Amino acid sequence: MKFNNSKSKEFFKKCLQKIRLRYLAHKDIKRFSKSAALSIYDATFDQLSSRIMYNVHAIEKGLSREHHFRKGFGRKALSTLNDCLLIYEEQNYSKDMFAYKQGRSIILRYIDKHKAMNEDTSFLSEIIVPAFLQEDSQFKFAGVKTVFLDDKKNNKNKNFYELSQNRASVRDFSGEAVDSKLVLSAIKNALKTPSVCNRQGWKVYLTENKTLIKDILYFQKGFNGYPKLPEILLTVCVSNSSFLSPVERNEAFVDGGLLSMSIIYGLEYEGLACVTLNAMMDSKSEKQIRKIVEIDSSEQVILFIAIGQFKDKVTVPVSDRKSLEDVVKII
């Protein structure tokens, strides 16, 4: 049998591709290390805005806790937020922008919640400048909202925009069983997701075993302190064996991200509650999770999706969104 591509030529090509991969990966690292907000004194508008949003989200999550609400929680997030807002002002960035307004607002929501519980907030003056503690009607954003089970019962009759606009991450589940057929149905629909050259290198691991879920979440570290475990946990992976060239080195994250969003919309359609959980783990934790889920070393872990049933009503972070004008630049 004569092959059209000779082994020796392919071997030479592979060596060149490996050199190219190193070069491109090095460029990735350089671009990331130059632009990422690695310190609060990395003070471009985008860097500061992102760090503000990170801390706003941490405080929103704390405010949304119905069980074990920790009065006076989040001092680290609040003190970092204070510093970011001060640096933002020092840099003379507009106070009319999304992140600044979110940052100023969440401090006031934090005070509102503690006042409503008759809790002392005097400790805030040690970590936050007086101006940020003053009530100000401009800063009416951020905080928490309530999601009702009754609103989810009609999900199958909603149009796509209604469905997507009403979706919210839910971390506090009812503890009732989830029919895995509904989850499989959401995954089946998601298989229509586009992928690069239709390679569909994804794999979804579905776990119902509570002991395994508990162990995975222990190492994942992004789902702490909620009273009920998810009923089902998905681990979304994409195999690097699907990719043919160094320029595809990050494609697993793109295809896996797209698939995941389709699954999430499918779960919303089925009336199930869920939250995406990151796979940004240190190598030790990742190794443990790979062992528990039996993930092949060729596969990239993209993220997890924790699934449960909605409680009659549940408090969740508002997670406000930027405006269209903030995001779209027409060229």
The least distance separating ligand FMN from the CB of residue 171, rounded to whole angstroms, comes to 5
For ligand FMN, which is the closer residue by CB, 87 or 190? 190
The least distance separating ligand FMN from the CB of residue 193, rounded to whole angstroms, comes to 15
The least distance separating ligand FMN from the CB of residue 314, rounded to whole angstroms, comes to 11
Q: Using CA atoms of 274, 231, 65, 151 in order, give the dihedral in degrees to the nearest 10.
A: 50
C-alpha separations of 178 from 146, 183, 215 in Å: 22, 8, 20
Residues lying near ligand FMN in the complex (CB under 6 A) are found at: 57, 168-169, 171, 222-223, 275-278, 303, 319
For ligand FMN, which is the closer residue by CB, 220 or 242? 220
DSSP state of 44: S
For ligand FMN, which is the closer residue by CB, 73 or 223? 223
β-bridge partners, 278: 303
The least distance separating ligand FMN from the CB of residue 57, rounded to whole angstroms, comes to 5
Find all residues with CB under 8 Å of 62, minimum gap 6, and list them.
69, 70, 73, 74, 77
For ligand FMN, which is the closer residue by CB, 17 or 319? 319
Q: How many CA atoms lie within 13 A of 222 on its CB side?
A: 17
C-alpha span between 103 and 57 (Å, rounded): 10
For ligand FMN, which is the closer residue by CB, 152 or 171? 171
The least distance separating ligand FMN from the CB of residue 148, rounded to whole angstroms, comes to 15
Cβ(221)–Cβ(285) below 8 Å: yes
Residue nearest to ligand FMN (CB): 222
Cβ(300)–Cβ(253) below 8 Å: yes
For ligand FMN, which is the closer residue by CB, 234 or 303? 303
The least distance separating ligand FMN from the CB of residue 166, rounded to whole angstroms, comes to 10
SS3 content of the chain, % helix, strand, coil (to 5): 50, 10, 35
